[in-house]
């Protein structure tokens, strides 16, 4: 059981554990999202991503989640169960990012650039919202992210 994002292979993360961690927080997190007519991880970001692109894209997305979306979340998460589940999710994202080593070679430029443009679509949409609202919405969309990641998970 491992992730295979194109050339990038990630072992040591059990997808089911990520789902269980998110499900434990889902209602609390998504209930705080009042902006219902906006979706950050929309089709243009995640649809028809080639295998080659996937390693670049998932790395950019997970780093953004770790650095920006999850920032200060532990301080706001009063509920102990949520803090524990959040820690599981965040630490497993750290594992995945640490194992993603996308190729930096020139011939991969067009692929990485395509992945970068997809990520920028997401980031721009994120920046158009107030930071707290954007963090809450992006956090609530982790199920969209995990559903997309599932395509690259091999049992």
Partner 1 sequence: DGVAILPAPQNLSVQSTNMKHLLTWSPVMVPGEIIYYFVEYQGEYESLYMSHVWIPSSWCSPTKGPECDITDDITATVPYNLRVRATQGSETSAWSTLKPPFNRNSTILTPPGMDVTKDGFHLVIKLEDLGSQFEFLVAYWRREPGAKEHVKVVRSRGIPVHLETMEPGAAYCVKVQTFVKAIGRHSPFSQAECVKVQGETLPL
Contacting residues toward partner 1, per CB under 8 A: 1, 11-14, 17, 21, 66-67, 70-72, 74-75, 80, 83-84, 87-88, 90-95
Q: How far is the CB of 21 from partner 1 (least distance, A)?
A: 7
**Closest C-alpha among 131, 142, 149, 125 to residue 29:** 142
Q: Closest separation between CB of residue 37 and partner 1, Å?
A: 31
User: Toward partner 1, which CB reaches closer, 69 or 108?
Assistant: 69
Q: Which is nearer to partner 1, 90 or 146 (CB)?
A: 90
We find the least distance from the C-beta atom of residue 74 to partner 1, in angstroms, to be 4
Whichever of 113 and 150 has its CB closer to partner 1, that residue is 150
Distance from C-alpha of 132 to C-alpha of 78, rounded to nearest angstrom? 16
Residues 6+ apart with CB under 8 A from 108: 52, 102
Which residues fall within 8 angstroms of residue 78, CB to CB, at 6 or more apart? none
Do residues 101 and 42 touch, judged by C-beta distance below 8 A? no
Closer of 21 and 108 to partner 1 (Cβ): 21
């Amino acid at each position: 059981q491992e992730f295979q994002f194109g050339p990038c292979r990630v072992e040591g993360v059990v997808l089911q554990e990520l789902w269980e961690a998110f499900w434990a927080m889902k209602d609390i997190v998504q209930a705080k999202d009042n902006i219902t007519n906006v979706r950050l991880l929309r089709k243009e970001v995640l649809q028809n991503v080639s295998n080659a692109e996937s390693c670049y894209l998932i790395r950019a997305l997970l780093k953004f989640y770790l650095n920006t979306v999850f920032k200060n979340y532990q301080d706001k998460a009063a509920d102990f169960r949520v803090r524990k589940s959040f820690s599981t999710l965040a630490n497993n994202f750290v594992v995945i990012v640490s194992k993603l080593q996308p190729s930096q070679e020139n011939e991969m430029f067009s692929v990485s650039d395509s992945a970068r443009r997809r990520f920028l679509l997401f980031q721009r949409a994120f920046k158009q919202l107030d930071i707290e609202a954007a963090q809450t919405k992006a956090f609530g969309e982790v199920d969209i992210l995990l559903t997309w990641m599932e395509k690259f998970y091999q049992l």
